[in-house]
Amino acid sequence: MFLEKLLPNEFVESIHDIRIEQLRARDIRAIITDLDNTLVEWDRPLATPEVERWFAALREAGIQVTVVSNNKQERVLTFCQPLGVNYIWAARKPTGRAFMRAVREMDVPIEQTVVIGDQLFTDVLGGNLLGFYTILVVPVTETDGFWTRINRWLERIVLYWMRRKGMISWKSKS
């Protein structure tokens, strides 16, 4: 069923609610994460100190990270380069090409990789189609670019149906 492909394995309010020790206990060695409205606001060029600390904690735990974004090279490079984080821009999520490139470059299997993002139709769908463990986060801000606003409208409809069918119990991100 298509709705099940849009269902994340886990839902959290923020990346900061993802417990690194739980990832390690599940033998997670890598994270593929979205950038805009997952890590920082879509119009914030650089990482916040909290996001910098999150990346440092992951690095210290031996968990690799690749930012996979549908955004343009300049945006992704400006954010990732100061952090020393690998990235893939113009990813065309939910297609699997960028996800597979990320695991290949990190040299980890899908089973040891988590996909984190704020959108059902790009991050969650793309990760689920390939068998990744997916984590949906609440968008960092309520404002979005034009195309993302269209996705959010469709997400509200899907989340409504998922709630009606008893597929989800969380109430945030409505």
Of the chain, the percentage scoring pLDDT greater than 90 comes to 74
Residue 42 has pLDDT above 90, yes or no: no
pLDDT category, 4, cuts 50, 70, 90?
confident
- Condensed to tens digits (0 to 9), the pLDDT of residues 142-162 reads 766 666 677 777 888 877 877
pLDDT category, 171, cuts 50, 70, 90?
low
Q: Cα(114)–Cα(89) distance, rounded to whole angstroms?
A: 18
Q: Cα(89)–Cα(50) distance, rounded to whole angstroms?
A: 23
Picking from 50, 38, 41, the residue whose alpha carbon sits closest to that of residue 8 is 38
Q: Which domains does the chain have, with CATH numbers?
A: 2-141 (3.40.50.1000)
Buried residues in 112-148 as b, exposed as e (16+ CB within 10 A): bbbbbbbbbbbbbbbbbebebbbbbbbbbeeebeeeb
More confident residue, 173 or 10: 10
Residue 61 has pLDDT above 60, yes or no: yes
Mean residue pLDDT of the chain comes to: 91
